[in-house]
Structure 1
Amino acid sequence: MTTSSSPTIDVPTTRALIANNPDVLIVDVRTPGEFETAHVPASINLPLDQVDAHLGRIVNDAGGRILLMCQSGGRATAACARLAGAGLTDATVITGGMNAWVAAGGPVERGRQRWSLERQVRLVAGGLVLLAVVASVWVPAARFVAGFIGAGLTFAALTDTCAMGAMLSRLPYNRGAGCDVDQSLARLRNERQQA
C-alpha cells in the first residue's frame, strides 16, 4: 500500500519508461532471499533494513531517478519516505511492487524459490494463534497469546509496519546468498555516472 506522500508509478508506465530509457534504475528493497527468488532484470538489491545505515551514501550516489520496489509496496513506500527525508527528491515507488510486476507479465529473473516475507508472517502469526487456542484447552491463559498476536497484526495494519516481518527478515532463510550493500551502492553510483 502506498500513500499520497510518496510519488508512485504503475507497472505499465514503468515498463514503458525502462524501454525508452534503459538508464532508469530499479532498487529492490526486499530481503536478499526474496530478491534471489525473483527480481526485475538489472535491478539492484538494497534491503530496507540497510537503507537507514547507508542513507547518506544512497542520497549522494543516486544522482538521478530511481524506482523503488518491494513485494507489494509497503516497504518501498517506507524507503521512499526515508530517502525523501534525507534529501533525495527523485525516488518513486512502483505501485503494487513485485506482485503487480509479475501479474502484468513483466520480465523476471528467477533463482532459488522461497516464501515471501508476507507469507512467512501469515504462517507464523496463524501458527501462534492456532497453538495458543489449542493450548488454552489446558492452560486457559494461553488465549492471551492469541489476543496479543491479533493486537500486533492490527497495529501492523494501522501503521503499515510489521515487527514480526522485521524479525523474520533477519533469519538466515531470508538472507539468501546475501546482499553486498557496498556492491549495490557502487552500482548505484556507476549507473548514475553513466546516465
Structure 2
Amino acid sequence: MEWDLPKLFNRPAQLTDAPIDTERVARRISAYIYGNILVLAALIPVTKAQETLGIAIVVGAALSTFLAHIFAESVGQTLRLDRTLTRAERSGELRDSLPILTSAVVPSVILCTALIGWLEPRTAQLIAEFAMITRIASISYVISRLRRERVTSGTHWAAIGLAAVAAAIVVIKVFLTH
C-alpha cells in the first residue's frame, strides 16, 4: 500500500458532515497543548538518579493538572452560564480536559522501556522529550484539518514555530521553578 501524504493530511476532520462545535474543539486543543507543555516540563529536570521516579513525575504532573483544569473550567463555565452545570455539561468538561491526561501516555510508555531495560534511561528521556515537542508541533496539522484547510508550507512553518514556542516555554518554566 502506497502512502498518499497530501491526501492523508487533507482528509476530512471527522467522518460525518455534522458541524464541529468550535468552542469545544478549541477547549480540547487548548488542553492538549497545555498538557503536553506541562508533561514536557516535568520530563526535562528528571535526572539519572530519578529514572524510576520519572514515570511518577510525568503521571503526577498530568493527573494534578487534569484535576485542576477540570475544576477551573467547571467553575468558569458555571460563572459564564450563571447556573449550576448539568451532569451532561460536567461530563463535557471532563471530556474536554482529557487531552491533558492523555499527554502523559506516550512519555510514560517510553520511560517504561528504560525501566525494563530496553533503552538506557537518558535515551528514553530524550526520546520522550522529542515526542512531546513533536506532539505540540503537530497541532498545526490538526487545526488545518478542523478548519478543513489544505496543508501548506504555512502549516509546516506553524508547526516549527509551535515547537520553538513550546520549547521556550518549557525552558522558562524549568529555569524558574526547578
TM-score range, shorter chain: under 0.3
TM-score (normalizing by structure 1): 0.26
Greater share of residues in helix = 2
Per the normalisation by structure 2, the TM-score is: 0.28
